[in-house]
């Protein structure tokens, strides 16, 4: 019932907005990271529906990976490459807001989202999706071993699990940084000791996710049955396998290791179509658009939409994983990474 009212309100708002700015821009540029599909998916179809409804065409501009996109936006602050940015995450948000990349705007629909996620946006940007970086394990490997898969972060430092874990370098890899932040958020000042124990436990460090997941992970033929990946990796292992109806995913997730990454959308300061840009942000958090996020972007919607059964069955979505504020991350990142290097190096 509530949702129907919301949908009606959104539609009414959109209509009002369209009327309000008739004669405004008829094309908006949406700046995104490189894994956002440029064409030919349900997400793009939804954007086309937005165009049909409002007469505003959407040009998707791929600005590189998230770090590159944010660095460029910082340099172009005030004279942006587009009107709306999709995908700046909580580890990079402070860098962007400090450089005044965004014109503060939060979508009305955000009042119905998880308040914790909305608060991270600090009134400047709107959360659009979230996902978790978690340690995954190879079920087949543990089935054939006498060990049970570890169930806590601490267990990874247990000598019983020596030589089994692969992680990514936090200085070169986004999930690598997220896992370091997970240990900092969970262990506080004791995180250096924990990493010393992981080193003693012969943790393998790779430079990026591919090398760990597709090189070191036992499922890909490597010798590490534990690897830092995503909470959404198991459903995709099922979804893309020969048997998309399998009841058990080939990999599992250790929930206690998860770290939440939240992505935001915002209106870029300097856009010459601020009204239409706000209208687009409202649309990006509408159920119409949000329902297509999981299958196309590998992350979860902030709006209240039903998840595909494969995610219900196989994804691990922790209720309230510990988090650090964007400001704390921005202030600590360089020194944490340097300290991490001195521990593991």
Partner 1 sequence: MDQHYRLNRPPRWFTTAISAPPAALALGFVIVPLAMLIAQAISIEALTTTLSDSRTWEVLGFTTLQALISTIATVALGLLPGLVIARSDFRGRQLILSLFAAVFVMPTVVMAAGVRALLPGEPTGLVPIVVAHTLFNLAIVIRGIAAAPVPIDAEHAAAVLGARRLDITRTITLPLLRPTLIGLNTVIFALCFTSFGVVRILGTTSSTTLEVEIWRETIILGRIDRGVVLAIVQLLTLTVGLGVWLVIRRRSTPHRHGQRQPISRRGSLIVVGSCLLVLSPIVALIHGSFRVNSTLSLSGWRNLFSNSIRPGLRLGFDPLQAMLTSLTTAAFATAFALIVATLVVAATASSPNIGRIVDGAAMIPLGVSAVTLGLGLLITFDVSPFDWRASSFMTPLGHALIATPFVIRPAIAALSTLNQQQVHAATTLGAHPIRALGNSVIPIVALPLLSGAGFAVAISLGEFGATSMLSRSGGETLPIIIERLLSRTGGDFRARAYGLSIILTSATMGMVIALDTAANRRQR
Residues that bind partner 1 (CB under 8 A): 29, 31, 34-35, 37-44, 59-65, 67-68, 70-72, 74-76, 79, 81, 92, 95, 169, 171-172, 204, 207-211, 213-216, 219-221, 229-230, 232-233, 236-241, 244, 295-296, 298, 333-334, 337, 341, 345
> To the nearest whole angstrom, how small is the minimum distance from the Cβ of residue 290 to partner 1?
17
> What is the C-alpha separation between 183 and 188, in angstroms, rounded?
8
Name, in order, each residue with C-beta under 8 angstroms of 282's C-beta and a sequence gap of 6 or more. Answer: 10, 13, 14, 17, 107, 108, 109
CA angle 22, 272, 283 (to 5 degrees): 60
Helix (H, G, I), strand (E, B) or coil at 55: coil
Instruction: Rank residues 73 and 107 by Cβ distance to partner 1 and give the closer one.
Output: 73
> To the nearest whole angstrom, how small is the minimum distance from the Cβ of residue 220 to partner 1?
7
> To the nearest whole angstrom, how small is the minimum distance from the Cβ of residue 198 to partner 1?
16
- Residue position matching structure tokens 């995180």: 191
Instruction: Rank residues 127 and 234 by Cβ distance to partner 1 and give the closer one.
Output: 234
Instruction: Rank residues 6 and 301 by Cβ distance to partner 1 and give the closer one.
Output: 301
> To the nearest whole angstrom, how small is the minimum distance from the Cβ of residue 15 to partner 1?
28
User: What is the CB neighbour count within 10 angstroms for residue 37?
Assistant: 15
Instruction: Rank residues 86 and 113 by Cβ distance to partner 1 and give the closer one.
Output: 86
Q: Which of 161, 96, 39 is nearest to 327 (CA)?
A: 96
> What is the C-alpha separation between 268 and 278, in angstroms, rounded?
10
Helix (H, G, I), strand (E, B) or coil at 153: coil
Instruction: Rank residues 11 and 68 by Cβ distance to partner 1 and give the closer one.
Output: 68
> To the nearest whole angstrom, how small is the minimum distance from the Cβ of residue 233 to partner 1?
5
């Amino acid at each position: 019932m509530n949702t129907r009212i919301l949908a009606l309100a959104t539609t009414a708002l959109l209509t009002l907005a369209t009327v309000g700015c008739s004669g405004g821009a008829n094309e908006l540029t949406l700046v995104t990271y490189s894994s956002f599909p440029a064409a030919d998916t349900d997400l793009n179809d939804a954007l086309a529906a937005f165009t049909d409804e409002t007469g505003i065409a959407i040009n998707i501009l791929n600005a590189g990976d998230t770090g590159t996109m944010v660095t460029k936006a910082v340099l172009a602050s005030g004279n942006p490459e587009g009107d709306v940015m999709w995908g700046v995450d909580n580890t990079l948000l402070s860098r962007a807001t400090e450089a005044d990349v965004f014109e503060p705007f939060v979508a009305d629909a955000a009042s119905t989202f998880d308040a914790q996620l909305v608060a991270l946006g600090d009134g400047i940007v709107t959360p659009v999706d979230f996902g978790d970086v978690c340690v995954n394990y190879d079920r087949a490997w543990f089935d054939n071993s006498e060990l049970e898969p570890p169930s806590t972060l601490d267990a990874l430092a247990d000598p019983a699990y020596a030589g089994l874990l692969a992680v990514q370098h936090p200085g070169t890899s986004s999930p690598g940084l997220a896992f370091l932040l997970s240990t900092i958020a969970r262990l506080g000042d004791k995180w250096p000791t924990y990493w010393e124990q992981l080193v003693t436990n012969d943790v393998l460090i790779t430079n990026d996710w591919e090398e760990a997941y597709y090189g070191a992970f036992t499922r890909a033929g490597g010798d590490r049955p534990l690897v830092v990946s995503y909470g959404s990796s198991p459903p995709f292992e099922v979804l893309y396998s020969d048997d998309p109806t399998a009841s058990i995913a080939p990999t599992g997730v250790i929930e206690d290791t998860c770290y939440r990454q939240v992505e935001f959308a915002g209106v870029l300061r300097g856009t010459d179509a601020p009204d239409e840009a706000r209208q687009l942000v409202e649309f990006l958090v509408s159920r119409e658009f949000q329902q297509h996020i999981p299958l196309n972007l590998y992350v979860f919607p902030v709006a209240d939409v039903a998840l595909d059964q494969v995610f219900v069955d196989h994804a691990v979505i922790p209720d309230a994983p510990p988090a650090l504020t964007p400001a704390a991350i921005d202030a600590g990142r360089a020194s944490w990474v340097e300290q991490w290097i001195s521990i593991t190096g």
